[in-house]
Amino acid sequence: MNDIRRVAVVGAGQMGAGIAEVFARAGLDTVVCEADQRALRAARGRIDRSLHRAVDRGRISEQQHTDAWAHLLFADDLEALADRQLVVEAVVEDERVKTEVLGTLDKVLADEDAVLATNTSAIPVTRLGIATGRASQVLGLHFFNPAPVMPLVELVSSLHTDHTVLDRVETFAKDVLGKHVVRSRDRAGFVVNALLVPYLLSAIRMAEAGHATAQDIDDGMVHGCAHPMGPLRLADLIGLDTVQAIAESLYAEYKEPLYAPPPLLSRMVEAGLLGRKTGRGFHPHRTA
What is the value of pTM for the model shown? Answer: 0.90
Question: For residue 2, is pLDDT > 60?
Answer: yes
DSSP of 163-218: HHHHHHHHHIIIIIT--EEEEE-S-TTTTHHHHHHHHHHHHHHHHHTTSS-HHHHH
pLDDT band of residue 286 (cuts 50, 70, 90) is confident
Catalytic one among 50, 157, 158, 193? 193
**pLDDT value at residue 83:** 97
The band of 136, judged by pLDDT with boundaries at 50, 70 and 90, is very high
Pick the CATH number of 194-278 from 2.40.30.10, 3.40.50.720, 1.10.1040.10, 2.60.40.10: 1.10.1040.10
The tens digit of pLDDT for each residue in 31-65 reads 999 999 999 999 999 999 999 999 999 999 999 99
Q: Which listed residue (21, 89, 119, 121) is catalytic?
A: 121
Active-site residue, 154 included: yes
6-184 placed in CATH 3.40.50.720: yes
Give the chain's mean pLDDT: 95
Radius of gyration of the chain (CA): 19
Q: Does the pLDDT of residue 1 top 60, yes or no?
A: no
| Domain boundaries along the sequence of the chain | 6-184, 194-278
Q: Catalytic: which of 154, 160, 184, 249?
A: 154
- Active-site entry in 34, 119, 142, 249: 142
Phi, psi values for residue 266, rounded to 5°: -60, -40
Is the pLDDT assigned to residue 8 strictly greater than 70?
yes
pLDDT given at position 288: 55
Angle, alpha carbons 155-77-137 (nearest 5°): 30
DSSP single-letter state for residue 133: S
**Catalytic status, residue 121:** yes
Mean pLDDT of all residues in 184-189: 91
pLDDT tens digit string along 190-227?
Answer: 999 999 999 999 999 999 999 999 999 999 999 999 99
Residues 233-257 pLDDT 10s: 999 999 999 999 999 989 999 999 9
Q: How many residues does the chain have?
A: 288
- Predicted pLDDT of residue 82: 97
